[in-house]
Amino acid sequence: MQRTPRSRLGRVAGALAALAVVAAACSSGTKAASPAASPAASPTASPAGPKMTVGFIMVGNRNDYGYNQAVYTASQAVAKAMPDVKVLTADNVPENTSVTQTMQSMVDAGAKVIFATSYGYFSYALAFAQSHPSVTVLHQGGYQTGAFPPNFGTYWGEAYEPVSLGGMAAGMVTKSGKLGFVYAFPISQTIANIDAFELGAQATDPAAKTYLVNTSSWCDPLKQKEAAAALLAQGVDVLTQHQDCQATVIEAAKAAGKYVVGYHYDARSLDPSGWLTGSAWNWAPVYTDILKTIAAGQFTGSRYNANWVGTFANGDNPLQPASFGTSVTPSMQAKILAAYDALKKPGASVFEGPVTCQNGTVLFAAGVSPTYAQINGINCLVKGVVGTLPGS
Amino acid sequence: MPARLRRFDGWRRLCAALLVYLGALALFSVVVALKGGNPFSVWSTMVRSTVLAGPTLQETLLRAVPIALAALAVAVPARAGLVNVGGEGQLIVGAVAATGAGVAIGASVPGPVSWLVMAVAGAGAGAAWAGLAGLLRTALGANEAVTTLLLNFVANDIMLYLIYQLWKDPKGSGQPESRPLVHAAQLPRLWGSQLNIAVLVTVAVAAAMWWLLRHTGWGFALRVVGGNPEAARRSGLPVRRLLLSSMLVGGALAGLGGMLNFAGLELRLRPDITLSFGYIAFLASWLGRHQPVKVVGAALLFSAIALSGNGLQLTDGLDGSIVDVLLALIVAAPLVLTKRRRGAFL
Amino acid sequence: MNGVQQALIGGIEGGTAILLPALGELVGQRAGVVNLGTEGCMLAGALAAFAVAAVTGDTWLGVGAGLLAGAACGLFHAWLVVRRRADQLASGLVVWFAALGITSVFGTGYIGRTATPLATLSVPWLSHLPAVGPILFRHDALVYAGYVLVGAVWFVLFRTRVGLVLRAVGERPAVVAAAGGHPQLVQMTAVIVGAGIAGVGGAQLSVGYVGNWFNDMTNGYGFVAVAVVLFACWRPAGVLAGSYLFGVALAAASVLQAHGVAVNQYLLDALPYAITLVALVVVARRGGAKAPEALTAALTNGAA
């Protein structure tokens, strides 16, 4: 039976190993001789070499017309704006120890600062910061506060405020009074976004209802399509979503001749007439400011060495309203922009009481303007949302 | 065939093998070049970014742990002629059981106790999962290649069900994940490095499997069954029991792999915990001809290839997924070479 | 429209992306070759279809490209297992990883773009039948292609000489060879045609149903397709039933939620696999004689 010569494979493996070692030796030899030939010393490097190497890690594809593309675009803007910064990027890195390995590779490649830009990277990023004191690690998604090591921070924006503006647009155009929200996971930021969207919609159509379907994935086109189809069959005429990639939901709305409110990235070009508006991340100013803080040696103890949240009130919310589509008339736009201006006043929030949960309990009493921490602690869906959170 | 000719044949085969492997590597270089990469420098990038840098070498070793154990889980039943495509599912149930045990008792007992309990739970769950397929095969004749494949999906759904509902961390981030393993229950690190004891356990287990398969009556009996089950039956070997035992042992190894990956590295149960390790392991076992030492070597190679995607992205600006192509080509090479004699025809 | 109807409609749309590759896999398995790389061939078909559709604007040209890409993928597998006698399962996984890598690398530029999906065609008269009309007869053309293909595959396999030879190769290739036939040629053809159909299944996903491309978008449906063939005991009607069963289970999770019903998706998701397992055991108990013999040989580890 065992006619296959075992030794052959062994010999081949041996030969291969030898080959690999020789190749490595040769190439490292040539590298030392002529650094210009290696891609590591790319033409962007100034003779003195860049002062700071920065790595950006993304969970999805950099061209997803969504969350990850927003990160990638901003990382390239940083590279352009700060000539002495060398930018490394890695995308499609899943939320498990792969991210630790990618961070390690970046450090090996000289990175002193790492932006771990997916929500689920938090624990890996924190652990990595603890074991690599000389590297500054930043997590994008900011939901946890507490005593951070001196080289770690997390950041985010008051996402729900711009999301509520999208809800207003949805409330203005809906005929059925039914809006659809496709989301990935019931994380606190998503719950806040769902509630804010519904509250925004109620501002323009008090009877508007938001129907929920979750996909349990930051990007799974088939599940998104099925979710969108189920919602459209339910009579929904405006779709919105909270996943990383948004082309599927936009395409589903477009095919059905319905409207869509975007999230993460301005994807108006995919369907200019169906696109109402949305919210889009503008991370470059945040990245730049953080890098300047680090370059000045002032990171430890700074506001970024904690849970930093950009807000409209401070004028530094990284999530900004996206452009309007052709179906949103100038008078509608004016109304939305007025609400936008109102949200810029300190203490203003779409969650200003009274806000009630689905089951009728009071979430925020009349006159209460909740804090960011309170809003991120919401674990109920507001009245007008149809659906339940899985696992609750 | 005269000896001289046979030797000539051997040399011809070796040359063919070399050519095929070089062809596989060349083909990968072509893909790299098509994507605008430098087809020559990628190799040094890959070697430098996976084994030559100390910290990354540690990551390579750590990732090889679940792949190697799941690959051994393929190798042991393969000795008896069984096909275990269920490494993925067995890794998952191992991690699930270890999570259940570790989260429940981790805070209240000393570390070594929870390590032991988690290991037993993980290995037991893996053995049960593979044993189910083994039982379906020996008692009912259901093809184990198919049942193990299906059980992968069931295992994944069970894990997702648990971390979405029953085991969801109430204080967590809202994403589906279990509560974290407390520090005392985490596997101890080695010499202050990133490595943990899982690496040593894997080496020890692989050595033990080598010895068991090679130097015990059980290992010999498995080979006999794998070679010719009918002859084995006639010579009075308990074929069914041997087949089942190979699946149980294999499953236990993969379950242990899932436990080590959880308790040493991941520390929480999350949806992405396996990442196709089980399928990569199947190929690793295949590349290593189901012989423990070579299988572990292949697992190490695949771990390095998977990790080299980082270097390729960072240094050469390539898409990290390109390493899947290399992995496929490396295994395709021996597939091209085998003129395996199989059963009925030609 | 009620929820049951919605789930059935979604089940048929989504289930078609399982039905097509499963029919292709049925053809291959009847000839004695299992292709675990079906998942990869679907990916190849999905990307090729989307890329061509996005570039040319012609969706049907895209579907054709999907067919060809799937067939090319099948050629790779067929060459390895039939000509080189490689292990079928290992070769299938190799095909999967190769396709996964290549489609990820070459598909990056297409992510986030949209292509005009295939139009929904209502079948005259039939689509107005009460209850079943909207469920069965208001879909894109590839869904109807699935209906037709089930019948066609059945007819070819069981009512033509070609089918007879193909099934004979799947049972006793040596006999076919002795009778002057060419079992290798038959197997190669069966695998390539099967993978081509799987490629169309991928196209149904990218340009038929979803309307865009994402890396690894088949998300395991190719593996499900392989399982469905076993669930079906290698019969076209069973493949049809199994595929739609999976499709409905997937769609039901979304539909239930859209109706405000709390559901644990994962127990629902696990159900079809569990049913398949039970079906396998039942088949095995009845003797398991229906499995093509050459296939059984291929799934047994010969070398060690």
A111 and A248 housed in the same domain: no
Q: How far apart are CA B245 and CA B138, in angstroms?
A: 11
Residues of A in contact with C1 (CB under 8 A): 233
Average pLDDT over every residue of A362-378 = 87
Read off the DSSP letter of residue A382: B
C62-104 pLDDT per residue, tens: 999 999 999 999 999 999 998 888 888 889 999 999 999 999 9
A147 and A198 housed in the same domain: no
Say what the pLDDT of residue B211 is. 93
A13-43 pLDDT per residue, tens: 444 444 444 444 333 333 333 333 333 334 4
Residues of B in contact with A185 (CB under 8 A): 174-176
Does residue A351 contact residue A161 with C-beta atoms inside 8 Å?
Answer: no
A287 and A240 housed in the same domain: no
CA atoms in the 13 A half-sphere facing the CB of C122: 9
Flag if C217 and A66 touch (Cβ within 8 Å): no
CB nearest to B173's CB, from A55, A93, A119: A119
Flag if A391 and B168 touch (Cβ within 8 Å): yes
Say what the pLDDT of residue A28 is. 38
Higher pLDDT, C163 or B106: C163
Residues of B in contact with C273 (CB under 8 A): 150-151, 153-154, 157
- Out of A115-129, B39-53, C282-296, least confident range: C282-296
Q: How confident is the model at residue B317 (pLDDT cuts 50, 70, 90)?
A: confident
Q: Is the pLDDT of residue C303 over 80?
A: no
Coil/strand/helix, residue B196: strand
Chain B neighbours (≥3 Cβ pairs under 8 A) are A, C
Say what the pLDDT of residue A152 is. 95
Q: Which two tokens stand for residue A273?
A: 């007439």
A290-343 pLDDT per residue, tens: 999 998 888 998 889 988 989 888 888 999 999 999 999 999 999 999 999 999
List alpha helices for C57-182, DSSP H: 59-78, 88-107, 132-137, 141-159, 161-171, 173-178
Residue C79, burial from CB neighbour count under 10 angstroms (0-12, 13-18, 19+): middle
Interface test with A, best of B44, B261, B287 (most A CBs within 10 A): B44
Give me the number of domains chain A comprises: 2
Average pLDDT over every residue of B91-118 = 91
Flag if C280 and B147 touch (Cβ within 8 Å): yes
Residue ranges making up the domain that contains B311:
40-337
Q: How confident is the model at residue B257 (pLDDT cuts 50, 70, 90)?
A: very high
Is residue A11 included in any domain, yes or no? no
Chain C neighbours (≥3 Cβ pairs under 8 A) are A, B
Of A233, A229, A249, give the one whose Cα is nearest residue A241.
A249
Give me the number of domains chain B comprises: 1
Flag if C97 and B153 touch (Cβ within 8 Å): no
Say what the pLDDT of residue C42 is. 96
- Fill in the amino acid letter for B69: L
Say what the pLDDT of residue C290 is. 65
Q: How far apart are CA A378 and CA A321, in angstroms?
A: 23
- Tell me the nearest-neighbour CA distance from B10 into chain C, angstroms: 18
Residues of A in contact with C13 (CB under 8 A): 229
Q: Is the pLDDT of residue C304 over 80?
A: no
CB nearest to C212's CB, from A62, A234, A248: A248
Residue B96 sits in a domain whose CATH number is 1.10.3470
Mean residue pLDDT of chain C comes to: 87
Q: Is the pLDDT of residue C125 over 80?
A: yes
Flag if B310 and A8 touch (Cβ within 8 Å): no
Residues of C in contact with B129 (CB under 8 A): none
Residues of B in contact with A37 (CB under 8 A): 41
Residue A375 sits in a domain whose CATH number is 3.40.50.2300
B61 touches chain A (CB under 8 A): no
Q: How confident is the model at residue B2 (pLDDT cuts 50, 70, 90)?
A: low
Is residue B191 included in any domain, yes or no? yes
Say what the pLDDT of residue A3 is. 36
Mean residue pLDDT of chain A comes to: 84
A153 and A297 housed in the same domain: yes
Highest mean pLDDT among A125-139, B174-188, B331-345: A125-139
Is residue A4 included in any domain, yes or no? no
Flag if B136 and C101 touch (Cβ within 8 Å): no
Say what the pLDDT of residue B183 is. 85
Q: How far apart are CA B88 and CA A158, in angstroms?
A: 40
A240 and A350 housed in the same domain: yes
Is residue A22 included in any domain, yes or no? no
A72-93 pLDDT per residue, tens: 999 999 999 998 899 999 988 9
Residues of B in contact with C97 (CB under 8 A): 279, 283, 324-325, 327-328, 331
Q: Which two tokens stand for residue B214?
A: 């090679």
Is residue B19 included in any domain, yes or no? no
Does residue C6 contact residue C254 with C-beta atoms inside 8 Å?
Answer: no
Residue ranges making up the domain that contains A334:
160-280+320-386
Residues of B in contact with A193 (CB under 8 A): none
Flag if B164 and A1 touch (Cβ within 8 Å): no
- Tell me the nearest-neighbour CA distance from A239 into chain C, angstroms: 12
B49 touches chain A (CB under 8 A): yes
- Percent of chain C at pLDDT > 90 equals 44
B83 touches chain C (CB under 8 A): yes
Q: How confident is the model at residue B275 (pLDDT cuts 50, 70, 90)?
A: confident
Q: Tell me the C-alpha to C-alpha distance, in Å, between residue B324 and each of A151, A300, B134, C216.
A: 34, 40, 31, 12
Say what the pLDDT of residue A20 is. 43
- Percent of chain A at pLDDT > 90 equals 51
Is residue A62 included in any domain, yes or no? yes
Q: Is the pLDDT of residue B119 over 90?
A: yes
Q: How confident is the model at residue B322 (pLDDT cuts 50, 70, 90)?
A: confident
Which H/E stretch holds residue A281? strand A275-281
Say what the pLDDT of residue B5 is. 55
Say what the pLDDT of residue A42 is. 40
Cβ-based neighbours of C126, under 8 Å, separated by 6 or more: C133, C136, C137
Flag if B321 and C100 touch (Cβ within 8 Å): yes
A136 and A166 housed in the same domain: no
Average pLDDT over every residue of B62-73 = 94
Q: How far apart are CA C261 and CA C263, in angstroms?
A: 6
Is residue A331 included in any domain, yes or no? yes
Q: Is the pLDDT of residue A121 over 60?
A: yes
The total number of residues shown for chain A amounts to: 392
Chain A and chain C share a number of CB contacts under 8 A equal to 128
What DSSP line would sit under A115-181, residue for residue? EE-SGGGHHHHHHHHHH-TTSEEEEET----S---TTEEEEEE-THHHHHHHHHHHHHH-SSSEEEE
Flag if A144 and B173 touch (Cβ within 8 Å): yes
CB nearest to B316's CB, from A1, A39, A90: A39
Is residue B3 included in any domain, yes or no? no
Residues of B in contact with C172 (CB under 8 A): 344-345
CB nearest to B173's CB, from A27, A101, A122: A122
Say what the pLDDT of residue C301 is. 52
Is residue A30 included in any domain, yes or no? no
Q: How confident is the model at residue B339 (pLDDT cuts 50, 70, 90)?
A: low
A63 and A209 housed in the same domain: no
